[in-house]
A and B are shown apart, each in its own frame.
Chain A
Amino acid sequence: MEKFFEFISHGFTQFMSYTAFANITAGHVVMIVVALIFIYLAIAKDYEPLLLIPIGFGMLIGNIPFNLGAGLQVGIYEEGSVLNYLYFGVTKGIYPPLIFLGIGAMTDFSTLLSNPKLILLGAAAQLGIFGAYTISLALGYLPEQAAAIAIIGGADGPTAIFLSSKLAPELVGAIAVSAYSYMALVPVIQPPIMKLLTNDKERRIRMKPPRTVSKTEKVMFPIIGLLLTCFITPSALPLLGMLFFGNLLKESGVTKRLADTAKGALIDIVTILIGLTVGASTQATTFLTPASIGIFVLGAVSFVIATTGGILFAKLMNLFLSDENKINPLIGNSGVSAVPDSARVSQMVGLQYDKTNHLLMHAMAPNVAGVIGSAVAAGIMLSFFMG
């Protein structure tokens, strides 16, 4: 009988040591609170719910404390666990190109084709990436880590995950969470900078309505775009290849079923997997470090630099453009490729100064050009460090 009670007591003690209550740390509590804030922002404030819900819930999953030494194979970093297998798509850079396929299939590049000079605003905003790189280096990050952190300035979650999984896999979680958080906060970060850098006259500039783009142009865009960009930076091929392929599926008009799958079920599945696993990768034991906090600060800085770069370049272009072709500098912020949030911000701020001046269509051009620009920038970083 005594042996029986001993067995029961030992079993109960062991069970208790496996529970979350026995393994919880302050870090776990902090991360659970952050996860709840993410979920709250997504549901109550409608901030990027498609991303913040999977990431927030993933954070909850990743921060359920458990006995690390028990070999339960439940944690995302434990080899053989289901979450670890799903995380494979992040660490090996599989998910981001699939998301780019969906983005290509759902993006209409006709505004960019109707006014090609706006492409350059998408290039100027990439200053955020390289500006953040130099600042990260000054703060003592290793060059490969600095490059991975800097890509947050591209405001492109898949690109950030793709590059950081290659250059600094240990920072993927922090970089992805930072990138997606700031993308959700674009309506908060950008307007003050836009107002600061422009005057009243500039904010009221009316741009020429976009011309109608023919089907031939739309079909040729992904083919020419792929050839031109990937001949210069082949290292961006996984991202740009999929982006342009997705766009050809859409614009060709003969592969509607494939385009529908790419922009529908496929991108939804990958978004669920990427969001959940990235969220789960923020396990308090590996996530809550000074480096992660630094990444959050640098993420904000990179967004500020990127927005500034886009707006100032629009003003610079205006110096060389005729009156009828002038660009409203309020669309400069859209070079930050948080599609379509930054374009919506241009529209929103523009309407504050002129209720009949709709900038959304114009802003979509630098917005989608920014996607291409940030993928090219990621390709440059890759070829520099991996070459």
Chain B
Amino acid sequence: MYSQIVDSVAVFDSVAAMETIHENAHEFQKIDPWGIGLTFIGMLVVFSSLFLLFIAFKNLVKVLNYLRRKKQSKKGEILSADLKEDVHTGEVNAAIAMALYLYSQEQHDQESLVLTINKVARTYSPWSSKIYSLRQHPRS
């Protein structure tokens, strides 16, 4: 009974939503038959949303750096900005990473010579049993 009520409410909601969409679309067709208005507003909103992100993230670094300097100056530390800028580019980082990788790849001298064979036990399952996939006496 409960599920029937929930179903009928859901159907009513979706029907009502579709009716609203059709009504709005009908209005749109009258007011903005070529879609120029929606295009203009749409692009404006998309640009303003992403422009806000641009402004926010452009200034985020400045704010973070300012806060860091303030914290450091409170502690009496030397301001890192006063020293030579120590920011590596992606290319420099990639070169360092590659050098470290190549160096670590060459470390073969001290490899362990002990070989271990691990016994693997699997739970029996008829789904993967060889009894059903192989003949009992393949060579006979």
Contacts and interface: CB of A to CB of B under 8 A. Distances in A.
Interface string A155-166: 000000000001
Interface stretch (A43-51, A58-66, A111-119, A342-350): A111-119
A257 B89 CA distance: 30
B57 A361 contact: no
Contact of A369 (B50, B87, B90): B50
Contacts of A233: 45, 49
Interface string A126-161: 110111011001100011101100000000000000
B21 interface: yes
B90 A209 contact: yes
A117 B54 contact: yes
Contacts of B60: 113, 217, 220, 224
Contacts of A385: 21, 24-25, 28
Contact of B34 (A113, A138, A142, A380): A138
A372 B88 contact: no
A232 B52 contact: yes
Given A144-B22, A232-B45, A119 B53 contact: yes
A133 B38 contact: yes
Nearest to A384: B38
Given A232-B52, A385-B21, A209 B87 contact: no
Nearest to B67: A216
A134 B39 contact: yes
A123 interface: yes
Contacts of A340: none
| B22, B46, B47, B64 interface centre (most CB from chain A within 10 Å) | B46
B17 interface: yes
Interface in A352-387: 361, 369, 372-373, 376-377, 380-381, 384-387
A196 interface: no
A309 to B, nearest CB: 9
A302 to B, nearest CB: 13
Interface string A194-220: 000000000000000111101011001
Interface string B84-124: 00011111010000000000000000000000000000000
A97 interface: no
Contact of A123 (B24, B50, B56): B50
A373 B39 CA distance: 14
A216 B35 contact: no
Contacts of B47: 120, 123-124
A371 B49 CA distance: 13
A218 B58 CA distance: 13
B48 interface: yes
A77 interface: no
Contacts of A133: 35, 38-39, 42
B43 A212 contact: no
Contact of B58 (A117, A137, A214): A117
A143 B34 contact: no
A387 B53 CA distance: 25
A380 B44 CA distance: 10
A319 interface: no
B20 interface: yes
Contacts of B93: 212
Interface string A273-286: 00000000000000
Given A129-B42, A233-B49, A376-B50, A214 B64 contact: yes
Contacts of B72: none
B80 interface: no
Contacts of A131: 39
Contact of B24 (A116, A122, A384): A384
B24 A380 contact: no
21 contacts: A119-B51, A123-B43, A124-B47, A126-B42, A130-B38, A133-B35, A134-B36, A137-B34, A143-B28, A143-B29, A143-B35, A210-B90, A212-B89, A217-B60, A224-B56, A225-B53, A229-B52, A233-B45, A381-B42, A384-B24, A386-B21
Interface of A: 112-113, 116-117, 119-120, 122-124, 126-127, 129-131, 133-134, 137-138, 142-144, 146-147, 166-167, 209-212, 214, 216-217, 220-221, 224-225, 228-229, 232-233, 361, 369, 372-373, 376-377, 380-381, 384-387
Given A134-B34, A134-B39, 14 more contacts: A112-B57, A116-B54, A123-B46, A130-B39, A133-B35, A146-B35, A212-B87, A224-B60, A228-B53, A233-B45, A369-B50, A372-B50, A376-B46, A376-B50
